[in-house]
């Protein structure tokens, strides 16, 4: 069993192929296209879902990493050996990572095979055995909203503006709308 802080904010993301996971391990970063990124990327950890391109290790989460920071860069700056890629000039979040850490027991997909982004919290991630266990149920939604709210305020997109807090009594539907979070990022049913 893992021992992540119970209120740690975790973003489950897809490592499209083994090369992307190797970049995260060796170079210490992961990329997310700005156009498809979730609204809150300032999380405590990234966990990497491995799709069919991973062969025998497909459809599971085997690794996670602490997030150290992020920056916005053009794709061509990240992957310099692909200067003519169709998206070379598009902006990407470069998520700076700590060490890529293996899970003692991978979190497997049962019926879910396609995942984009999914938020969860440490308490749930620590105990998950299958992907559907990562869903934040109504009892724990307040912890998730508190973590999202804190990160959204802490990492305001305008660092020069005065930081203000969001009201703590907002229903999660209102907060999701304000932060631009789609419901399927929380529960893909």
pLDDT by residue (tens digit) across 14-58?
A: 999 999 999 999 999 999 999 899 888 889 999 999 999 999 999
Q: Looking at residues 2-15, what average pLDDT do you find? A: 91
- Residue 96 token pair: 């700076």
Does residue 172 lie in a domain region? yes
Does residue 114 lie in a domain region? yes
Q: Looking at residues 91-97, what average pLDDT do you find? A: 94
Does residue 56 lie in a domain region? yes
CB 129 within 8 A of CB 150: no
- Say how far apart CA 8 and CA 117 lie, in whole Å: 16
Which helix or strand (DSSP H or E) is residue 153 part of?
Answer: helix 141-154
Burial class (CB in 10 A: 0-12, 13-18, 19+), 78: middle
Half-sphere exposure of 109 toward its Cβ, with a 13 Å CA cutoff?
19
pLDDT (0 to 100) of residue 184:
46
CATH number of the domain enclosing 147: 2.30.130.30
- Residue 129 token pair: 């055995």
| Distances from the Cα of 91 to the Cα of 19, 87, 88, 150, angstroms | 20, 9, 8, 25
The bridge status of strand 60-74 relative to strand 101-108 is antiparallel
Does residue 1 lie in a domain region? no
Name residues whose C-beta falls within 8 Å of residue 182's C-beta, 6 or more positions apart in sequence.
38, 176
Q: Looking at residues 140-144, what average pLDDT do you find? A: 69
User: What is the count of structural domains for the chain?
Assistant: 1
Name residues whose C-beta falls within 8 Å of residue 163's C-beta, 6 or more positions apart in sequence.
153, 154, 156
Q: In which band, very low, low, confident or very high, does the pLDDT at 112 lie, cut at 50, 70 and 90?
A: low
More confident residue, 112 or 180: 112
Does residue 3 lie in a domain region? no
CB 48 within 8 A of CB 19: no
Does residue 2 lie in a domain region? no
Domain that holds residue 104: 9-185
Q: Is the pLDDT of residue 174 over 90?
A: no
Does residue 138 lie in a domain region? yes
Does residue 141 lie in a domain region? yes
């Amino acid at each position: 069993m893992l021992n992540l802080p119970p209120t740690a904010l975790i973003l489950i993301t897809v490592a499209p192929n083994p090369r992307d996971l190797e970049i995260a391990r060796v170079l210490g970063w992961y990329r997310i296209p700005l156009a498809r990124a979730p609204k809150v990327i300032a999380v405590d950890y990234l966990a990497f879902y491995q799709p069919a391109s991973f062969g025998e290790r497909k459809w599971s989460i085997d690794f996670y990493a602490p997030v150290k920071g992020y920056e916005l860069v053009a794709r061509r700056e990240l992957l310099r050996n692909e200067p003519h890629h169709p998206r070379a000039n598009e902006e990407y979040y470069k998520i700076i990572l700590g060490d890529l850490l293996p899970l003692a027991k991978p979190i497997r997909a049962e019926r879910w095979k396609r995942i984009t982004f999914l938020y969860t919290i440490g308490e749930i991630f620590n105990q998950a055995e299958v992907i559907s266990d990562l869903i934040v149920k109504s009892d724990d939604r307040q912890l998730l909203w508190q973590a999202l709210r804190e990160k959204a305020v802490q990492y305001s997109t305008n660092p020069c503006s005065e930081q203000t807090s969001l009201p703590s009594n907002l229903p999660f539907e209102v907060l999701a709308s304000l932060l631009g979070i789609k419901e399927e990022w929380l529960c893909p049913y």
